[in-house]
Amino acid sequence: MATFRGHHDTSNEKISKSNAQGRLLRDNVYGGIDEDAERRDFTVNALYYDISDFAIHSYAGGIHDLEKGILRLIGDPDTRYREDPVRMLRAVRFATKLNMQIEAVTAAPIKQLAPLLKDIPAARMYEEVLKLFFAGHAEQNFDMMQEYGLFAPLFPAIQAQLDEYPKGACAKMMHAVMRSTDERVKADRPITPAFFYAAILWYPLRQRADEIASESGLTTNDAYYAAMGDIMEQQCRTISVPRRFSTPAKDIWQLQLRLERSLNTRAFKMAEHPKFRAAFDLLQLRAEVEGGSLEKTATWWNNFLNADEENRSKIVRSGPRGNSRNNNGNRSRTGNRRRRPANKQPKAAE
């Protein structure tokens, strides 16, 4: 239940206010049902149920559009999107959720006005992303957001990689994550923003870590730890990811480095980590995207996790079997090692 709202253009500034671009900053104007209908964004949202006669009243042709499968904005699209740029995201979400086509006039200004999303408070965008990607239509929404230029304002680091490598690992990961999320929603399995953000930001993280390592000479681990802060901070400028999810996302990232070099007795302790299962799921997605030695690593962990205690010990004793190199091309600590010269003392463990 909601109160009816009226037009804001003739209202006192104390209850209605917009900025120079036309975006409504405050909009607490009350009115009647006719005015409220005109204020709705899409015609299919301007439907009213009358409890007195159990009839549905359509004030903007919403029933007709619903029957035809057309999503149409009420009023001038340019003006309505400027009032609230999030309406462009709602257009995408409603179109996929209701299996509707966005009317041509309604769709026309979206690509040009998409950058207006940068001005939306990051806290509000967090909620909008949950609605877009956690409701069973993630892949469809991602594809449509790409079509209309709506993804870049929300995820600039990811979009930079997608633009540079349209068919690269990052693009493959995005579709893999979206498909996986949709499958989990349909199967009524739990999903968490921590894993979602860890997965979609993995390749921007790796690129940033490589940049830091080459610029500063830091070790791989230190470069990744520095990059984690950079990438998450940049993402939170457009989407305010709560700390209860950003912190575990970083845990999942850290475990990626350990998973590739723990194909030995350390696997027992690794499997007990609270975020191990999420980290393993990300490893499997990476293996799906990259293949090669990473696929062998994922297979090793899968065999280890599905084995009983006795067979786990056998798997650990047998070693990685062919995983002598990790997916960065470096020799794994658990792979075939060169014999250390007799006069060479071993280095202290990191």
pLDDT digits (tens, 9 = 90+) for 188-243: 999 999 999 999 999 999 999 999 999 998 999 999 999 999 999 999 999 999 99
For 47, phi and psi rounded to 5 degrees?
-115, 135
Q: What is the dihedral of CA 282, 232, 239, 19, to 10 degrees?
A: -160
- How large a percentage of the chain has pLDDT more than 90? 71
- The per-residue b/e assignment along 223-251, b for 16 or more CB within 10 angstroms, e otherwise, is bbbbbbebbbeebbebbbbeeebbebbbb
Q: What is the pLDDT of residue 229?
A: 97
Share of the chain above pLDDT 70, in %: 80
**Between 37 and 229, residue with greater pLDDT:** 229
Residue in the structure block whose two tokens are 């304002």? 153
> What pLDDT does 325 receive?
38
Domains and CATH numbers, the chain: 73-154 (1.10.110)
The three state secondary structure string of 82-97 is HHCCHHHHHHHHHHHH
Q: What is the reported pLDDT for 13?
A: 52
Average pLDDT estimate for 279-303: 96
Confidence of residue 275 (pLDDT cuts 50, 70, 90): very high
Model confidence at 62, in pLDDT bands (50, 70, 90)?
confident
Q: Tell me what pLDDT residue 71 has.
A: 97
Per-residue pLDDT of 117-171, as tens digits, reads 999 999 999 999 999 999 999 999 999 999 999 999 999 999 999 999 999 999 9
Instruction: Give which of 313, 336, 312 is closest to 324, Cα–Cα.
Output: 336
pTM for the predicted model, two decimal places = 0.81
Instruction: Give, as one character, the DSSP assignment of residue 248.
Output: H
Q: Which residue has the tokens 């350390």?
A: 266
Angle at 124 between CA 199 and CA 85, to 5 degrees: 105
Answer yes or no: is pLDDT of 342 > 50: no
Tokens 């007195």 belong to 52
